[in-house]
Amino acid sequence: MNGLENIRDARIPSEEIAIGIALGLLIIRLAVGLTLAGHGTQKLFGWFGGYGLKSTGGWMSSIGLKPGLAIALLAGLAELFGGLLFALGLWVVVAAVLIVLTMLGAIASIHFRHGYWVRQNGMEYNVILIAVAIGVALVGPGEYAIP
């Protein structure tokens, strides 16, 4: 046995570590994905205390995002379907792209001018979601995902 085989063997995680990684990715995907899907339903249907498509579209128009209704529809659909795909571990790269693009849009149109911290309506939350989406897309959804 040469040195390369030892290095290769050291990189293979033990079963306990592999289970921990799989569970950790599942928890991250479910928390982020279902939260984003919930935000999508707020925009689209007014669920969970949201305002629904018409009111969200009107608000978006009022802050200069036009056509507001179309932008609200696209953002809501991206959050809903991106979030559900992410939570399920299905097409996580596509889900991550939807999440990242939606969060970059929110940062550019609303949050950037308020700074970083969410307390001042800044981009903190959006940056965290972008980091998580990219991270999961890079490592994959884990064992507990829809193949």
Domain range annotation of the chain: 28-139
Which region among 13-17, 61-65, 83-87 has the lowest average model confidence (pLDDT)? 13-17
Model pLDDT for residues 105-145, shown as the tens digit of each residue: 999 999 999 999 999 999 999 999 999 999 999 999 999 99
Angle of the 68-88 helix axis to the 92-106 helix axis, nearest 10: 140
Give pTM, 2 decimals. Answer: 0.88
Q: What is the pLDDT of residue 14?
A: 86
pLDDT-wise least confident of 3-12, 56-65, 93-102 = 3-12
The one-letter amino acid at 127: V
Q: Which of 103, 65, 109, 66 is nearest to 82 (CA)?
A: 103
